[in-house]
Amino acid sequence: MYAVIKTGGKQYRVKPGDLIVVEKLSGEPGAKVDFDQVLMLGEGEAVTVGAPIVGGASVSATLIETRKGEKVKIFKKIRRQGYRRTRGHRQLESVLRVTAIAGGGKTETWDGEVSLTPLAELNLRARNLARRASGAITPAGAEVETVVEPEGPGKAPRVRAKVVESAEAVASEKPAAKKVAAKKAAPKKAAPSVKDVAKAGAPKPAKSQAKAPAVRKSAPRGKGG
């Protein structure tokens, strides 16, 4: 059994158990929603068309969440004028699970369990990040307190979370402390001087260079000489 309903200026073909996304509806997650604008009912080959709606027919659904849809980009351009503008819009939408259809003296219901898990949670589960986002990784020995800090006259106070950890003191080992003290007390080696570095890096003269006589430089000759 199926039905065609009208909501938000649009028409949807639904049957029990379907998950549909419609324009934003008021209500909290888990609330029951009834649609009385049923344009058509169908079961097999039997079809009932309303004029404009089917009298006494209704469709029941459960509201799962109200969220923002996919972003729609609006791009404007005027050629040869250097004009370009890009804007984005996300329309609010509601997610529903159809649970029952009634009309024409017949009723068909869906016996499944309605899960109120939002799409954001499902995406985090798919990326294995749901546990981190839900705060389940908080250590067992840690406590979180809410602290309100005044900002000053004329300003709203700031609210932040303060983590208070409780851990037992661990006795320090004496041998380890002695080793650390010995390392700290060890004298530092003096840095090598420039002369030492020059001596170490300078090449040794060859025997032929050591025995070669010194060359005497003569004074420059004048014009007359």
Per-residue pLDDT reduced to its tens digit, 100-112: 999 988 999 999 9
Percent of residues, the chain, with pLDDT higher than 70: 59
Distance CA 24, CA 31 (A): 14
Provide the 3-class DSSP secondary structure of residue 176.
Answer: helix
**pTM score over 0.75:** no
Distance CA 122, CA 74 (A): 29
| Backbone φ, ψ for residue 196 (5° rounding) | -60, -40
Distance CA 149, CA 211 (A): 87
Percent of residues, the chain, with pLDDT higher than 90: 53
Mean pLDDT is lowest, of 65-69, 90-94, 95-99, 145-149, for: 145-149
Q: Domain spans of the chain?
A: 2-72+88-110
Provide the 3-class DSSP secondary structure of residue 69.
Answer: coil
Locate 129 and state its tokens: 């990040």
pLDDT at 215: 58
Distance CA 32, CA 174 (A): 69
Neighbour-count burial of 14, counting CB atoms closer than 10 A to its CB (0-12 exposed, 13-18 middle, 19+ buried):
buried
For the cut 70, the answer to whether the pLDDT of residue 196 exceeds it is no
C-alpha separations of 153 from 121, 148, 149, 160, 224 in Å:
40, 15, 12, 19, 99
pLDDT at 220: 63
